[in-house]
Structures are given as C-alpha cells and as structure tokens.
C-alpha cells in the first residue's frame, strides 16, 4: 500500500497567493484555478489541492516532480480524484502504484489531503 498525507494552513495559502499571485499559474492547472476561484473561500480550496499534490509525491516516494502533472479533479459523483501525467505518471508506474484514491478535508484553519494507492503486484513483492 502506498500512502501520502499533507496538511496546509489555509491562512498561509491566502498570504502566499496575495504575495505571489503567479504561483497559481505555476502550481495549479487552469481547471483547478477556475474551480477554486469559483468558491467563496478560494484559498481553502487551493490549500487542499496543494496538499493533494504534496501527498501524491509522498505516496510515490518522489516528492512533487511537476506541479502541473498532478491535477485534482472532481469525479462525476462530485468526489475529488487525482490524475497524474508525464513524469509523475511514469514514477507511479515505477512505484507499482495502482489507481490513486484521494480524500480532502477542510476546517476553518487547515486543509488536509490523503492519497492511497494499492501497490500492484509485479511478482517481486511479498506484500
């Protein structure tokens, strides 16, 4: 099992966005930005997505390879999901990761993300 978790203070994210607005373009995809900016408290949603990207890097054991290659989307059910591409997708394959599952949660002060993936059997593992 591969697991990653991260927590981000919402107010800290709001301060970072205010000081460095171009960070949004560097870290978040267009769809992520549009989603977060449509919310009453965008910083909270940006914080959760930032935490999700960090959690993916932790689960894969690589850290974040490319911010844009990890995208938080909403499944048809409305549940958050994560999609990886490029070098991050290749790293997931090397790690033997099956589909990544994502859970997000917010409070007034912080946002947290947990990423879990079942390790696919390649014939070499004993788990």
Burial 37-49 (b: 16+ CB within 10 A, else e): eeeeebbbbbbbb
Active site residue 58: yes
Q: Shortest CA distance to 27 belongs to which of 6, 48, 7, 10?
A: 48
Cα 108 from Cα 8, distance rounded (Å): 11
Q: Shortest CA distance to 48 belongs to which of 96, 114, 97?
A: 114
* Catalytic residue, candidates 39, 45, 53, 106: 106
Provide the 8-state DSSP code for 78: S
CB-count burial class (<10 Å; 0-12, 13-18, 19+) for 24: middle
Q: Which active-site residues does the annotation give?
A: 58, 106
């Amino acid at each position: 099992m591969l697991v990653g978790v991260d927590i981000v203070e919402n107010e800290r994210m709001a301060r970072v966005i205010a000081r460095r607005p171009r960070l949004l373009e560097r870290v978040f995809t267009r769809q992520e930005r549009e989603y977060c900016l449509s919310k009453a408290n965008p910083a909270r949603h940006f914080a959760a997505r930032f935490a999700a990207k960090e959690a993916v890097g932790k689960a894969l054991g690589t850290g974040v390879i490319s911010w844009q290659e990890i995208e938080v989307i909403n499944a048809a059910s409305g549940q958050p999901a994560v999609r990886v591409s490029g070098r991050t997708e290749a790293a997931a394959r090397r790690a033997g990761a099956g589909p990544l599952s994502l859970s997000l949660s917010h409070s007034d002060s912080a946002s947290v993300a947990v990423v879990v993936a079942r390790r696919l059997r390649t014939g070499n593992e004993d788990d």
